[in-house]
Amino acid sequence: MGHLVEENLNTVRQQMELACLSSGRKVEDVKLLLATKTVPIEKLYIAMQAGETLFGENKAQELRGKFPLMEQFKQVEWHFIGHLQTNKIKDVVKYVTLIHSVDRLKLGQALHNYIVKENKTMDILVQINTSYEESKFGAPPELALELVKQLSQFETLNIKGLMTIGKLNATNDETRHCFQLLKSIQTQIKEKKFPRVEMDILSMGMSGDFKVAIEEGATIIRVGTSVFGPRYLPDEYYWNENMRQED
Ligand SMILES: *Cc1c(COP(=O)(O)O)cnc(C)c1O
């Protein structure tokens, strides 16, 4: 008997294919990242057994809790998609291959300071607040270019693209506008040809809006609820400006 998580995965995969088809994109050009905040380890296990290989976590602490799964499923890649506090850098860098949420110079500087000591490099995305909602993290779109330019001075950071959270509880047109804005910022940055800046990744689209995001060029969509079911903590707990404890 199939499990609900597997059924949901099939549904999401089908919807991704349809969105690719209807927008003339190749299915293999869009990756599904499963957003795992608050999801019990049993459900993640099912998704991994079903062959999923890309997972994203919002908090350093929860990331650490998933270590047993990391040991067991070596082919799984973990990304960090939440607000990153500078005092958590060490825990995060240890486990993830891409940080989606670099949204300020101070964080870039702190990442660099740590990574340079470790003799490593780190792939990052720059998070942009395309909806201008105060409750969300991310650099203001007007400052994106300057921020990327400043971040590109850190030789430990490979800037792979951009990330955004589309406007929530909005019409398709409003969310589409957020994604189009991210795309246009990507184009502007590409033209500048900054060192270590590739800009190939657009991380955008969640359960409610990933179809629109794919139509607008997403290369990674981040899906939680549609696969794992509803969460019992409001997203504000992860996203709210008031949660900012430093910087
Ligand atoms: C929770 C979360 C998601 C997934 O949201 P769903 O609506 O559950 O699909 C995507 N991106 C970020 C940054 C998140 O925190």
Token pair for 223: 């899906």
Average pLDDT over residues 216-223: 98
Q: What is the pLDDT of residue 1?
A: 45
Gap from CA of 136 to ligand 1 centroid (Å)? 12
Gap from CA of 206 to ligand 1 centroid (Å)? 6
Q: Does the pLDDT value for residue 246 go beyond 80?
A: no
What atom in ligand 1 is closest to the CA of residue 82?
A: 13
Token pair for 87: 């005092």
Gap from CA of 33 to ligand 1 centroid (Å)? 10
Average pLDDT over residues 94-105: 97
pLDDT, tens only, 159-169: 999 999 999 88
Q: Does the pLDDT value for residue 241 go beyond 90?
A: no
Gap from CA of 18 to ligand 1 centroid (Å)? 21
What is the enclosing helix (H) or strand (E) of 204? none
Q: Does the pLDDT value for residue 134 go beyond 60?
A: yes
**Chain Cα centroid distance, residue 147:** 18
pLDDT, tens only, 165-213: 999 889 999 999 999 999 999 999 999 999 889 999 999 999 999 999 9
Q: Yes or no: say if 247 and 107 are a contact pair by the CB < 8 Å rule.
A: yes
- Selected from 1.10.287.1080, 3.40.30.10, 3.20.20.10, 1.10.1050.10, the CATH number assigned to the domain covering 2-229 reads 3.20.20.10
pTM over 0.85: yes
The protein residue with its alpha carbon nearest to ligand 1, atom 12, reads: 81
The protein residue with its alpha carbon nearest to ligand 1, atom 2, reads: 35
Q: What is the pLDDT of residue 240?
A: 65
Q: Give me the helices (H) in 23-165, please.
A: 41-49, 60-65, 67-72, 89-95, 105-118, 144-151
Gap from CA of 239 to ligand 1 centroid (Å)? 10
* Mutational test site, ligand 1, from 206, 220, 231, 237, max ligand atoms within 8 Å of CB: 206
